[in-house]
């Protein structure tokens, strides 16, 4: 048999497809690799050790399967040349033991065999052997088999290092996002418990979102109420949301009358132009409740309308949408925002919310419509629950108890009764 015949009968080199399909491994430096030669034939061991040593590899030799396993457990090897027929423990059983041992299973194995043992070699390949070398050895084939196996091993190690680095990076990012989410939640206001009472629910989506809301007394008679939703998700959206909320809480918009919702939105629009904020914008509903006039003056920048339930009592209260046309905040400078004023009835509840509350995909493939959401809010809730709980329970049921696709933010205000 010629050398060409030997190569033609040999199976494809196992590392070739992986190297071609992915990135090329770092070129092999033989001195960095240690190879174990396990063969009961002393001449074969000597020939292999001499040739591999001449190539620059570190080489250890053993004469039986039991000693091979002992050496593998004692010292780190990068490749094993494993004779199929050996005393004590035969090569196929050594291979089976290696592949069942977590500490040894990743070491590449090249089986050494005569041509009459090809059926057994095939079973070894099925067990996890990387390749085989027919006897007698051909220098070119020996070099090719070893290089291919070591390149495959090196590429696998590089992939594992990259994967581990990615996992660590993802864990670090997840921890930072969780910390940021906790910070966003810490900024949400405490419930009011006085002339005006409030309740709210914030359920973050799988990603850090851009919802935020707040309310505070501007003076003894006027309560500011607002909810905003930044486009997109992630740290950038959360930072913009926090910045806008803090500006409103601190009244740090210059020359702005915070009792005038349209004036507030105009100032926000000039301050948060999207080209200065990573091309992000936000929607907002802002209103002011005046307890003397018993009115709500409000303005809107591309946000869903607030829903006011008003009537003689809760049972008879009807929904009124508080909406004013207005462009989202940050998309175009010098935009005017106008106000509208709503007189309150004897009994009044107000709901602010983001679109993540009602833009929900239904199990049947449809979408929950805004009018159906309003009907659910207007319906008196069962005893022991409020309207926000009813909506959240319904959305949770539709998503099958899984994570929400968008932040769920909903705030309820109950104003003092006026007879």
**pLDDT at residue 32 greater than cutoff 90:** no
Q: What is the pLDDT of residue 4?
A: 36
Which residues touch 216 (CB under 8 Å, ≥6 apart)? 189, 223, 224, 249
Q: Which pLDDT score is estimated for 19?
A: 43
pLDDT reading at 21 higher than 70:
no
In this model, does residue 83 exceed pLDDT 80? Answer: yes
pTM of the full predicted structure?
0.65
Q: Which residues contact 68 (CB under 8 A, 6 or more apart)?
A: 36, 38, 62, 80, 82, 86, 89, 94
Tell me if the bond preceding 136 is cis, omega within 30° of 0. Answer: yes
Is pLDDT of 117 > 80? no
Contact yes or no for 351/412 (Cβ under 8 A) = yes
Residue-averaged pLDDT of the chain: 88
Q: Residue 181: is it exposed, middle or buried by C-beta count within 10 angstroms (0-12/13-18/19+)?
A: middle
CA-to-CA separations, 362 to 99, 242, 338, in angstroms, rounded: 48, 31, 35
Q: Which tokens in the block code for residue 143?
A: 């070099």
Name the maximum alpha-carbon separation found in the chain.
Answer: 109
Domains of the chain with bracketed CATH: 3-161 (3.40.50.2300), 190-414 (3.60.40.10)
pLDDT digits (tens, 9 = 90+) for 288-299: 999 999 999 999
φ, ψ for residue 396 (rounded to 5)?
-60, -40
Residue 26 pLDDT: 63
């Amino acid at each position: 048999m010629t050398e060409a015949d030997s190569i033609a009968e040999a199976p494809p080199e196992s590392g070739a497809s992986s190297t071609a399909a992915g990135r090329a491994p770092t070129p092999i430096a033989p001195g960095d690799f240690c190879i174990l030669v396990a063969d009961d034939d002393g001449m074969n061991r000597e020939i292999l050790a001499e040739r591999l040593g001449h190539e620059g590899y570190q080489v250890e030799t053993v004469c039986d399967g039991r000693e091979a396993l002992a050496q593998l457990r004692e010292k780190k090897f990068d490749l094993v040349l494993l004779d199929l027929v050996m005393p004590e423990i035969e090569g196929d059983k050594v291979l089976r033991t290696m592949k069942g041992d977590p500490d040894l299973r990743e070491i590449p194995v090249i089986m050494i065999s005569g041509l009459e043992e090809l059926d057994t070699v095939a079973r070894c390949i099925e067990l996890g052997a990387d390749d085989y070398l027919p006897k007698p050895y051909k220098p070119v084939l020996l070099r090719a088999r070893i290089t291919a196996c070591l390149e495959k091993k090196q590429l696998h190690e590089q992939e594992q290092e990259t994967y581990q680095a990615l996992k660590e990076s993802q864990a670090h990012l997840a921890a930072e996002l969780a910390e940021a989410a906790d910070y966003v939640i810490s900024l949400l206001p405490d419930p009011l418990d006085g002339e005006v009472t409030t309740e709210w629910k914030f359920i973050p989506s799988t990603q850090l979102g851009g919802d935020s809301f707040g309310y505070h007394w501007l003076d003894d008679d006027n309560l500011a109420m607002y909810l905003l939703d930044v486009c997109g998700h992630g740290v950038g959206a959360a930072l913009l949301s926090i910045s806008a909320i803090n500006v409103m809480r601190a009244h740090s918009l210059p020359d702005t009358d915070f009792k005038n919702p349209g004036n507030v939105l105009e100032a926000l629009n000039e301050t948060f132009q999207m080209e200065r904020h990573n091309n992000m914008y936000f929607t907002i509903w802002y209103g002011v409740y005046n307890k003397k006039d018993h009115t709500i003056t409000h303005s809107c920048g591309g946000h869903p309308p607030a829903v006011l339930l008003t009537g003689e009592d809760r049972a008879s209260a009807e929904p009124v949408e508080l909406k004013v046309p207005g462009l989202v905040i940050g998309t175009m400078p010098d935009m005017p925002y106008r106000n509208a004023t709503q007189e309150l009835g004897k009994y009044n509840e107000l709901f602010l919310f983001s679109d993540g509350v009602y833009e929900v995909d239904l199990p049947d493939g449809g979408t929950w419509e805004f009018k159906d959401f309003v009907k659910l809010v207007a319906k008196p809730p069962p005893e022991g629950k409020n309207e926000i709980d009813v909506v959240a329970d319904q959305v949770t049921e539709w998503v099958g108890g899984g994570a929400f696709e968008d932040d769920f933010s909903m705030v309820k205000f109950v104003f003092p009764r006026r007879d």
